[in-house]
Amino acid sequence: MTVARAPRRITVAEAARHVGELVCIPGWLYNLRESGKILFPLLRDGTGILQCVASKAQLPESVFQAIKDLTQESSIVVTGTVRAEPRAPGGYELEVADLEVVQRVPESDPYPITPKEHGIEFLLDRRHLWIRSRRQNAILRIRHEVVKAIRDYFDSHGFTLCDTPIFTPAACEGTTTLFEVNYFDHDKVYLTQSGQLYNEATAMAFGKVYTFGPTFRAERSKTRRHLTEFWMVEPEMAYATLEDVKQVAEELIVFVVGRVLENRRAELAVLERDVSKLEAVQPPFPRISYDEAVRLLQSKGSPIQWGEDFGGDEETLLSEAFDRPVMIDRYPAAVKAFYMQPDPERPEVVLGVDVLAPEGYGEIVGGGQRIHDYELLVRRLEEHRLPRQAFEWYLDLRKYGTVPHAGFGMGVERCVAWICGLDHVRETIPFPRMLYRTRP
Amino acid sequence: MTVARAPRRITVAEAARHVGELVCIPGWLYNLRESGKILFPLLRDGTGILQCVASKAQLPESVFQAIKDLTQESSIVVTGTVRAEPRAPGGYELEVADLEVVQRVPESDPYPITPKEHGIEFLLDRRHLWIRSRRQNAILRIRHEVVKAIRDYFDSHGFTLCDTPIFTPAACEGTTTLFEVNYFDHDKVYLTQSGQLYNEATAMAFGKVYTFGPTFRAERSKTRRHLTEFWMVEPEMAYATLEDVKQVAEELIVFVVGRVLENRRAELAVLERDVSKLEAVQPPFPRISYDEAVRLLQSKGSPIQWGEDFGGDEETLLSEAFDRPVMIDRYPAAVKAFYMQPDPERPEVVLGVDVLAPEGYGEIVGGGQRIHDYELLVRRLEEHRLPRQAFEWYLDLRKYGTVPHAGFGMGVERCVAWICGLDHVRETIPFPRMLYRTRP
């Protein structure tokens, strides 16, 4: 079929703005339905899925037959007119005028992921293809929105982005869960678990900073909350306290959830997410102490005793008790990192806070105030048997204009899992890395 | 001195909006000048530097003396009234009403970086402090602006952020420059050199994508253009060609430079950057072929022969020949990566393009069209003796709905070095990692 002029190339997402126009959309065949002399190919182009209508009466026989023969994920360029059609999914459809087959996937080697159920290992082995599915696509779009919202929040609140190094000589919170890298045979470095120590240096240079990049934990755990490679945002503020951390974390979480609700309703619908649960994420978040949390857990039958750290089970129990994120502060110093500032009124607890997401998702934020006194920090390094020499630069921050400062870390994948309502963090990143999974 | 109400806490950057108000600004002493009975402490708070005026006549003796005794980088909280003062650097000053010394750095162990000249190794050893200096602060603020501009460009042009993995089983461009990681004793992985192969998978799922994260090269080079850990943005587009790459790269560079000119004039002034050189970065960029580039180099006395790759010297020579970035396309296939699409009219060259920054800064962008034909890609893997099994997933992209696609990578540190007019990339990242530098 000949068209008078070259039709404009658009995306599925743009279709609504081109009703009545002849357009061309390159993409892939997501599915094909047949109804008598009409074919309904579903066109997927990465921005959305659009129902096309190919009528035998209006198309050359060869084009109609080519459409009829299409196989799943064949690459196609569809030319046609956009129509508003309330009965079509999404409200628009494309009346096919022409269709070019770029590559037809042969029946002899068909696209391996079919609409039927597949096992999780089968899908993870084909992650490079699985991400084309409507559901995975929706999750990763929400991830994009979450990342953008986080950056927008900090960029618009006076924080300077200071990328902290991935190669680090020392561990932030112990060395047992570090990945080691052979550095040109003359040095050994580790992959960062947290940019916090460096953040403390940049906060003294810029006032308010954040780092946002991949972090690594060599944990031999196979839980639904763990990846060996995951992304974390970590803000740090000079002249700030535990209360500032709570306020910023609360604002940030409300902002991020709000952005997803504002811009990703369609994706949440694909995931069949109960959005009322997200709409409830409004300030103020409940704030309780570790002491209160222990009592709450005990009242729910947990055997936990004061002084013990919370594991996944405790976090789940606690986070199920609230309809929005809950902030728990003042943990025992013994279960927290060496750099945490003790509460001056109760030195056995620290000025730290964890934020647990609701619906059983557990910790999404951890942070607090850091020790700013030189002597105390030296003592803590000794108590934790950390090599002082590796921390000389970190001690310098307490020698040259030390100030109270505080910050936190928020894990992207756990946030996305919670916002999307997923069982496992493995679907929240394009190519998850786990204990027994490094491919594709 | 008593003040009627608690003064508002602001930052130096906000001072202009509070003229006539009593405010409080926490920060550090950058420098102290004395003129008779008036002291001029320069207050640094990470957002800027503000001249304060402390008059002996108007301050209690103890406060005046405390100011007089201040040492460099002592942490202080200054309370005072903001005044417009054309003679002050920046146009504003703070009339001191009170000053609290949070920590006075003792003369016995003074701040090690003084206004005098220091050697580069001395400064790099103290990078955690050096970043407080006016010049390093300006560079890293520009880095922030560059990163934000890059993300804003892609986010507003229909690209989906798809973070590609850091742990990768296979090398994108050969294995000699890879950092190897021991993965729980049961596997070996490498640190990514480029997210491109994964980008090709996500582009087929989302249409237009970008990845933006740290990348790693174990190169034993000590040039002014190399870091072992650096940040790179890599867009990839389905149904796209070499020409699309050129257009997007040009738009992106113009956008990023424009943003820096718009928002970071003060920082460029600190660096004494000739902004006319940046203002010249307007489209269209000159576009020449590799053939033409070779002839141009030969005319300038270079011994280069057709078929050889360009090194740093050739890049410098070429980029000095133009007043804006220059695009060089169609390099010999033999010097480029295995996945590059051959020019159908001249199969000995590939549909790839490099963009060289002006003023001798060399390559900032490299990219082009990728092979989308299955058989050709299999052949190339064999020619390059790459292990086919590791690339099966990558070959899948050519089996299931293959389409022409293209993309590129742009290095953040080289861009920042060029925009800031720096001699070496080591100043463009908070904590540079080089062959012999992994600390602090």
pLDDT digits (tens, 9 = 90+) for B383-426: 998 889 889 999 999 999 999 999 999 999 999 999 999 999 99
Cα B56 to Cα A345, B62, B65, B66, B210: the distances in Å are 39, 10, 9, 11, 59
Q: In whole angstroms, what separates CA A244 from the centre of its chain?
A: 24
Shared domain for A246 and A146, answered yes or no, is yes
Question: Rounded to the nearest 5°, which phi and psi values hold at B44?
Answer: -110, 130
Shared domain for A99 and A244, answered yes or no, is no
DSSP A285: P
pLDDT at residue A169, as a whole number: 87
Shared domain for A131 and A87, answered yes or no, is no
ipTM field? 0.97
Helix H or strand E segment including B182: strand B180-183
Nearest Cα residue to B221 out of B436, B439, B431, B438: B436
* Last-in-domain residue among A68, A88, A103: A103
Pairwise CB contact (< 8 Å): B201 & A401 = no
The residues in B 38-57 lying below 8 A from A, measured between CB atoms, are 45-47
Closest Cα in chain A to B152:
A148
CA–CA gap between residue B94 and residue B85 (Å, rounded): 9
CA–CA gap between residue B265 and residue B253 (Å, rounded): 17
The pLDDT tens digits of the residues spanning B293-322 come to 999 999 999 999 999 999 989 999 999 899
Shared domain for B32 and B94, answered yes or no, is yes
pLDDT at residue A3, as a whole number: 46
Helices (H) and strands (E) counted in chain A, each on its own, are 13, 19
* Last-in-domain residue among B46, B70, B103: B103
Shared domain for B92 and B184, answered yes or no, is no
Shared domain for B60 and B140, answered yes or no, is no
In a domain, B111, yes or no: no
pTM of this structure: 0.97
Contact residues, chain A, for B400 at CB < 8 Å: 73, 105, 111, 129
In a domain, A77, yes or no: yes
pLDDT at residue B224, as a whole number: 87
Comparing CB atoms, the residue among B166, B184, B202 nearest residue A218 is B184
Shared domain for B99 and B232, answered yes or no, is no
In a domain, A421, yes or no: yes
Shared domain for B166 and B250, answered yes or no, is yes
Using a CB–CB cutoff of 8 Å, tell me whether B184 touches chain A: yes
The pLDDT tens digits of the residues spanning B221-280 come to 888 888 999 999 999 999 999 999 999 999 999 999 999 999 999 999 999 999 999 999
The pLDDT of residue B3 is above 50: no
Shared domain for B196 and B269, answered yes or no, is yes
- A423: domain CATH number is 3.30.930.10
Total domains present in chain B: 2
Closest CA of chain B from A32, distance in Å: 15
Show contacts of A10-14: CB within 8 Å, 24+ apart: A11/A45, A11/A46, A11/A47, A11/A48, A11/B158, A11/B207, A12/A43, A12/A44, A12/A45, A12/A47, A12/A48, A12/A49, A12/A50, A13/A47, A13/A48, A13/B158, A14/A47
In a domain, B375, yes or no: yes
Check if the beta carbon of residue B194 is closer than 8 Å to that of residue B394.
no
In a domain, B339, yes or no: yes
The residues in A 230-259 lying below 8 A from B, measured between CB atoms, are 231, 238-239
Using a CB–CB cutoff of 8 Å, tell me whether B196 touches chain A: no
Using a CB–CB cutoff of 8 Å, tell me whether A75 touches chain B: yes
Shared domain for A152 and A282, answered yes or no, is yes
Check if the beta carbon of residue B43 is closer than 8 Å to that of residue B33.
no
Shared domain for B45 and B89, answered yes or no, is yes
Shared domain for A80 and A142, answered yes or no, is no
Q: In whole angstroms, what separates CA B46 from the centre of its chain?
A: 19
pLDDT bin (cut points 50, 70, 90) of residue B127 is very high
In a domain, B438, yes or no: no
Closest CA of chain A from B412, distance in Å: 11
Query: Where in the sequence is the domain holding A35, given as residue range(s)?
Result: 8-103
In a domain, B391, yes or no: yes
Closest CA of chain B from A69, distance in Å: 14
**Phi-psi category of A286—alpha, beta or left, where left has phi over 0 and alpha has psi -120 to 50?**
beta
pLDDT bin (cut points 50, 70, 90) of residue B175 is low
CA–CA gap between residue A225 and residue A219 (Å, rounded): 11
CA–CA gap between residue A235 and residue B142 (Å, rounded): 19
- A40: domain CATH number is 2.40.50.140
CA–CA gap between residue B253 and residue B410 (Å, rounded): 9
Residue B276: partners with Cβ closer than 8 Å, 6 or more residues away: none
Closest Cα in chain B to A134:
B205
In a domain, A108, yes or no: no
